Structure 1
Amino acid sequence: MDKFTYESLIKKYNAQRAERFAFIDFVVRFLGGLNRSDLLDFFGIGDAAASKEISEYKRLRPRNVDYDRVMRKNVILRDSFTPLIEIDAETALGMLANGFNKNKLYDRPMLPYKRVGMVPRHLDIDLISKVTRAIHSKTAIKCDYISGNSKNHDERTLVPTAFFYDGHSWMFRAFHRESAASGGVKFKCFEFSRLKNVTECSNDSALPLETLAQDSDWHLLVPLQLTLHPSLSDSKKSTLIQEFGLVDRDDDFLVTEKAVLVYYLKKHWKIDVNDNPSGDGNYNFHLKNSSTLKHLECMENVFKYL
């Protein structure tokens, strides 16, 4: 089977058609299927042109999709799918978050660029695609997960609902059926890099209580009243004022974040959540309204070690 790069597709066809084939390949792989309206909406082409491009894609990759008459769309053939264009996991997740972008398919940055700290195979794109398809179709997956907070590495049944980037790692939100059944936390955050052995349960649809709409902590926005930490030197304060775009000579500012994501903000921004500022000098900010947030169940990890 022929292997392509985006550039080689352009040479074989033209820039417009290469972009359409790359788009079809991307949507099928990460969302599980597409129909003509996806091409109509994204490229503004007509029905005939859309049908032509899908037919040509099927000729290039005859074992990638099949038309499902019930769903009225071309759905992925999971067991035989072979990408038309290889794409790395970071790029794929970035486009799922921000929209398909043909410029991301070129291996030629506009200015000298290097990503620091890329770990080989840190993110398994095949496992990621199974999760993103489950998010899109609102179905379950079974997986092994190497948790950093628990010794329980048994198989889990998750219903993925959303994904996010915390500044360092790509993660996803999911309803955890085993935890919910035992009276534990229903919705949790998981790191893509800790997944193993993901199996899609394409016929196991999410129950109403397992959907993102029922994840109240995901939708809850909380105010964080932050102030530059009193242990900082004047030079460090000036640096943070510049980096965070703060008003000069004003140490206090307010940010609003999803309740479930405050834990990650605390970690990466180095926020001291003690009632009274700590004197150990390892913090950038102090949370002034911690007393009003401690009662929230989803804040347990934020205040866990106090």
Structure 2
Amino acid sequence: MAVALDQHRAAVLAGVNKTQLERLAYIDFKLYFFGELRRADVVDRFGMGPAAATRDIAMYKDISPKNLALDNTDKVYRPTVEFAPLFEHAPQRVLTALAQGFGEGFSDALKPMIRSEIPNALGLPKMSVLAPVMRAIHRGKAIRLGYTSIDSGYTEREIVPLALVDIGIRWHVRAFDRRHRQFRDFVLTRMDAPTVLEDSQVMQDETAEHDVQWSRIIELEFVPHPEHPRPEVVRMDYSIPADGVLRVSVRAANAGYMLRRWTVDCSPDHSLRGIEYALWLRDPLALYGANNAQLAPGYKDPHSKRKIKAL
């Protein structure tokens, strides 16, 4: 019976267009995370008529008949004890939706779906900077801009932006720097008046395929810090598998940032102390060759004394 139901679901969903699929996912979301669904929820979210919302709910019930039941007292659909989500809901997207809204409205109209609190972002870029940079990434173009670095102060640059990166405390752009002829990270808040260079040809060696640090994937293995007083809590916090090792893949270009953000002890002898060091990098040599490895707490390059410059 379960096999037949799964086949029925797959057949129905295969014939559903993208817009209706989004509405079905929203119905699933409301039932799963709020324990109730009103027809008005679908009407308000998608700006549709009551009859159309009723059809969507009926389709959802046809696909998963045991997922919801109508509570006649409140005229509300509620999940049954047999409820199983029809869609896979990614944790990060769910938390963002709950804290900032499920795409309802724009700008200040976005409101959290539950009482929640998110730390203020202190280093957000100007949209007048972000927009041309994103256009350049999307279209494979170079840009000219003013840039202020800690080492050089203000300079005029030409860069070929490749990707947008969030390191937790700021956003930066991975780009090819034509001035230094190498791939570097450029902080968005330090950019001034970027202009897309429509007539400037991007050469092959300026593309992401030639960025070795970006293309190289490093496999890291984390274990609860040997000095942590409650390793069982660490295993719970990071969903560490039964074998006791959390395995994470990361681009070499982003490894140091990630390890600093997570406060991972990367010393060879797990010598860093403090409750904030919940994880230890079991094999620090896995970072060898990553240009920003020395940003990682406690990391010691066995073959270099080069210092990473200020962030």
Q: TM-score, normalised by structure 1?
A: 0.57
Shift of residue 135, structure 1, vs aligned partner: 0.6
CA distance in 1, matches of 2:255, 2:126: 27
**Structure 1 position 271 matched with structure 2 position 267:** no
- Cα displacement string for residues 72-99 of structure 1 (whole angstroms, at most 9, x for unaligned residues): xxxxxxxxxxxxxxxxxxxxxx9xxxxx
Structure 1 231/153 Cα, relative in aligned 2: closer, same or farther at 3 Å? farther
- 1:229 alignment counterpart: 225
**Structure 1 position 190 matched with structure 2 position 190:** no
Structure 2: tracts of 5 or more residues without a match: 1-45, 49-95, 97-101, 300-305
Structure 1 118/298 Cα, relative in aligned 2: closer, same or farther at 3 Å? closer
Q: Which has the larger radius of gyration?
A: 2
CA distance in 2, matches of 1:190, 1:301: 16
Shift of residue 134, structure 1, vs aligned partner: 0.7
Shift of residue 298, structure 1, vs aligned partner: 5.8
Shift of residue 278, structure 1, vs aligned partner: 1.1
After superposition, residues 67-106 of structure 1 pair within 5 angstroms as 103=104, 105=106, 106=109
CA distance in 2, matches of 1:170, 1:136: 17
Relative CO higher for 1 or 2, CA cutoff 8 Å, sep ≥ 6?
1
What amino acid does structure 2 have at the position aligned with 1:218? W
Please state whether the residue corresponding to 2:268 is helix, strand or coil.
coil
CA RMSD of aligned residues (A): 2.9
Alpha carbons 2:253, 2:290 under 8 Å: kept: no
Shift of residue 199, structure 1, vs aligned partner: 2.5
Please state whether the residue corresponding to 1:153 is helix, strand or coil.
strand
Alpha carbons 1:166, 1:265 under 8 Å: kept: yes
- Cα displacement string for residues 207-233 of structure 1 (whole angstroms, at most 9, x for unaligned residues): 111111221221211111212212211
- 2:250 alignment counterpart: 257
Please state whether the residue corresponding to 1:238 is helix, strand or coil.
helix
Alpha carbons 1:217, 1:298 under 8 Å: kept: no
**Structure 1 position 173 matched with structure 2 position 174:** yes
Number of residues paired by the alignment?
Answer: 200
Shift of residue 200, structure 1, vs aligned partner: 2.4
- Cα displacement string for residues 135-186 of structure 1 (whole angstroms, at most 9, x for unaligned residues): 11211112222334x2343122111011122233222110011111xxxxx1
Alpha carbons 1:272, 1:283 under 8 Å: kept: yes
**Structure 1 position 124 matched with structure 2 position 126:** yes
CA distance in 1, matches of 2:226, 2:307: 21
CA distance in 1, matches of 2:153, 2:111: 43
Structure 1 277/138 Cα, relative in aligned 2: closer, same or farther at 3 Å? same
CA distance in 2, matches of 1:227, 1:173: 30
For residue 213 of structure 1, the aligned residue among 196, 209, 216 is: 209
Alpha carbons 1:141, 1:200 under 8 Å: kept: yes
Percent of pairs with identical residues: 22
Q: TM-score, normalised by structure 2?
A: 0.56
Structure 1 126/296 Cα, relative in aligned 2: closer, same or farther at 3 Å? closer
Structure 1 205/298 Cα, relative in aligned 2: closer, same or farther at 3 Å? farther
What amino acid does structure 2 have at the position aligned with 1:220? R
Alpha carbons 1:160, 1:174 under 8 Å: kept: yes
What amino acid does structure 2 have at the position aligned with 1:133? R
What amino acid does structure 2 have at the position aligned with 1:210? E
Structure 1: tracts of 5 or more residues without a match: 1-13, 17-93, 95-100, 181-185
Alpha carbons 1:294, 1:300 under 8 Å: kept: no
What amino acid does structure 1 have at the position aligned with 2:254? L
CA distance in 1, matches of 2:116, 2:207: 39
| Stretches (4+) displaced over 4 A | 300-306
